């Protein structure tokens, strides 16, 4: 029996990992155990998402919570190592680029346990982003690098990573989207909020560069208020953004201007809101991908993206950081879904096939 341990901790990890867990579950040669680090602990960012996904109940919960990057990553490292020493899995699977991803990968690599990284090779080339540091280091520590677009392999090759480790499997986040699309669409979440279909802008913002600096967060709020003068704006607010906006007094200003500041939405509700939106404005990574597949125009409030394929396909506009660029945001009722190769709902299955072949041929414990 090959024993796999998953290290997950934040909202996007659950969405990206669920399809792999499901594909491995169908293979009797493997057993699996799920460790939730507790990086995200608010029900809206954790339990509600897990429930929407039908995610198996985690076997362990580490409760690392919030803190500085060093505190949070350090706690993951210490607590996840304890689990590994007890459970001695054959393989650790991590996904994405959050602090939990890095902490789990580092603890495993130091113990000589192979690491598989889902969503390897993405690069924004912006070293001020904590996620970019997490991506580069996690890829360097990983033995199995599962990529979702061709440029990821190019990025990894440029960093000297052996091509034998890289497996182009497609996008597991889009597996989750495709599986739950009918349920999400049927919710018609915009109706419950009395928003006009294709006539509102769906906003999410939580990147440190947009929300941590008080002057910037106030400028962002001003820009959203101007936007709300042109179209209804619905804004499920991430906890870190909420605390910054509340601290600067901008939350009340937004509400007074008619911006619908909601609690973070569940997974199905959020997908549903993307379907009904006229445009999406975000600084998230995964939402650029989801919006591209749904075909709703996406505008990204960042100076770089690690998802250039979404821009190349014309479904995502990189606005940069100048807030006057929000003038470009326009609602549209035209849907132009991007058909991106291997974003087809079967990426998790392809991950399982690679692991099955690798472990079946006895190379599972090999370390580079
Ligand atoms: C993290 C990821 C980011 C990802 C995002 C998805 C890192 C470096 N960042 O950002 O890449 O896009 O998750 O949501 O890992 N907080 C709560 N409740 C929670 C979690 C966080 O209130 O359940 C608040 C705390 O004040 C915390 C702050 O949000 O200090 C930041 O949380 P953290 O997990 O460090 O990063 P995110 O901003 O969520």
Q: Quick check: is 206 catalytic?
A: yes
Q: Are 217 and 160 part of one and the same domain? A: no
**One domain, residues 284 and 138:** no
Q: Is residue 337 part of a domain?
A: no
**Atom 29 in ligand 1: which residue has the minimum CA distance?**
240
- Any idea of the CA torsion for 240, 245, 251, 257, to the nearest 10 degrees? -120
Predicted local confidence at residue 360, as pLDDT: 81
Residue 189 and residue 123 share a domain? no
Residue 31 lies inside a defined structural domain of this protein: yes
- State the distance from the centre of ligand 1 to the C-alpha of 238, rounded, in angstroms: 8
- C-alpha triplet 255, 202, 190: angle, nearest 5°: 90
Atom of ligand 1 at shortest distance to CA of 44? 23
- Residue 364, pLDDT score: 46
Identify whether 334 is part of a domain: no
Same domain assignment for residues 125 and 188: no
Distance 41 CA to ligand 1 centre (A): 9
Q: Are residues 47 and 124 in the same domain?
A: yes
In a domain, 67, yes or no: yes
- Indicate which atom in ligand 1 lies nearest the CA of residue 39: 34
CATH number at residue 88: 3.40.50.2000
Residue 335 lies in a domain: no
Residues with beta carbon inside 6 Å of ligand 1?
10-12, 39-42, 45, 66, 72, 97-99, 130-131, 206, 239-240, 243, 284
Q: How far is CA 173 from the centre of its chain?
A: 8
| Centre of ligand 1 from the C-alpha of residue 240, in Å | 7
- pLDDT score of 250: 97
Would you state the structure tokens that stand for residue 253, as one six-digit string? 């200003």
Say how many Å lie between the CA of residue 27 and the centre of ligand 1.
Answer: 33
Tell whether 222 and 123 lie within a shared domain: no
Q: Could you tell me if 28 and 134 lie in one domain?
A: yes
Q: Which of 11, 12, 15, 40, when mutated, tests ligand 1's pocket best, judged by the most ligand atoms within 8 Å of its CB? A: 40
- Of 40, 167, 206, 346, which residue is the catalytic one? 206
Q: Tell me: do 196 and 300 sit in the same domain.
A: yes
Spatial separation of the C-alpha atoms in residues 205 and 251, rounded to whole Å: 13
Mutation probe of ligand 1 site: the residue of 50, 238, 289, 290 with most atoms within 8 A of C-beta: 238
Q: Looking at the domain assignment, is residue 8 inside a domain?
A: yes
In a domain, 176, yes or no: no
Same domain, 192 and 272: yes
Print pLDDT tens along the chain (368 aa).
999 999 999 999 999 999 999 999 999 999 999 999 999 999 999 999 999 999 999 999 999 999 999 999 999 999 999 999 999 999 999 999 999 999 999 999 999 999 999 999 999 999 999 999 999 999 999 999 999 999 999 999 999 999 999 999 999 999 999 999 999 999 999 999 999 999 999 999 999 999 999 999 999 999 999 999 999 999 999 999 999 999 999 999 999 999 999 999 999 999 999 999 999 999 999 999 999 999 999 999 999 999 999 999 999 999 999 999 999 999 999 999 999 999 999 999 999 999 999 998 544 444 44
**Are residues 113 and 87 part of one domain?**
yes
Residue 130 lies in a domain: yes
Task: Note whether 207 and 83 are same-domain residues.
Answer: no
Q: Which residues of 266-294 are buried (b: 16+ CB within 10 A; e: fewer)?
A: bbbbbbbbbbbbbbbbbbbbbbbbbbbbb
Q: How many domains does the chain have?
A: 2
State which of 13, 47, 76, 98 you would mutate to test the pocket of ligand 1, scoring each by most atoms of that ligand within 8 A of its C-beta.
98
Find the domain containing 118 and state its range. 2-171+343-367
What is the pTM assigned to this prediction? Answer: 0.95
The answer on 162 and 256 residing in a single domain is no
DSSP letters, 219-277, are HHHHHHHHHHTTS-EEEEPPHHHHHHHHHTTHHHHHHHTT-EEEPPPPHHHHHHHHHH-
């Amino acid at each position: 029996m090959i024993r796999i341990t998953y290290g997950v901790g934040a909202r996007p990890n659950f969405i990206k990992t669920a399809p792999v867990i499901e594909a491995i579950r169908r293979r009797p040669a493997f057993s699996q155990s799920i460790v939730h680090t507790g990086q995200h602990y608010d029900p809206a960012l954790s339990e509600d998402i897990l429930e929407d996904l039908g995610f198996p109940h985690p076997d362990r919960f580490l409760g690392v919570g919030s803190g500085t990057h060093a505190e949070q990553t350090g706690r993951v490292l210490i607590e996840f190592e304890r689990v590994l020493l007890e459970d001695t899995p054959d393989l650790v699977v991590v996904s994405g680029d959050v602090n939990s991803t890095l902490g789990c990968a580092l603890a495993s690599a130091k113990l000589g346990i192979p690491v598989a990284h889902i969503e390897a090779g993405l690069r924004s080339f912006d070293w001020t982003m904590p996620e970019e540091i997490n991506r580069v280091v996690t890829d360097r520590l990983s033995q199995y690098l599962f990529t979702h677009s061709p440029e990821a392999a190019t990025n990894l090759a440029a960093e000297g990573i052996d091509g034998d480790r890289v497996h182009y499997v497609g996008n597991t986040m889009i597996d989750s989207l495709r599986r739950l699309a009918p349920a999400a669409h049927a919710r018609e979440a915009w109706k419950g909020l009395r928003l006009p279909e294709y006539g509102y802008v769906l906003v999410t913002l939580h990147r440190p560069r947009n929300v941590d600096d008080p002057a910037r967060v106030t400028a962002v709020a001003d820009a959203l208020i101007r936007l709300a003068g042109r179209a209804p704006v619905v804004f499920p607010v991430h906890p870190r953004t909420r605390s910054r906006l509340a601290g600067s007094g901008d939350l009340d200003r937004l509400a007074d201007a008619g911006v619908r500041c909601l609690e973070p939405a569940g997974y199905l509700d959020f997908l549903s809101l993307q379907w009904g939106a006229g445009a999406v404005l975000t600084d998230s990574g995964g939402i650029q991908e989801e919006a591209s597949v749904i075909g709703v125009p996406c505008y990204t409030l960042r100076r770089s993206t690690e998802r250039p394929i979404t821009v190349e396909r014309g479904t995502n506009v990189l606005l940069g950081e100048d807030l006057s660029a929000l003038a470009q945001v326009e609602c549209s009722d035209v849907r132009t879904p991007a058909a991106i190769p291997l974003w087809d709902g079967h990426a998790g299955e392809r991950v399982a096939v690679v692991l099955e072949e690798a472990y079946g041929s006895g190379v599972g414990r090999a370390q580079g």
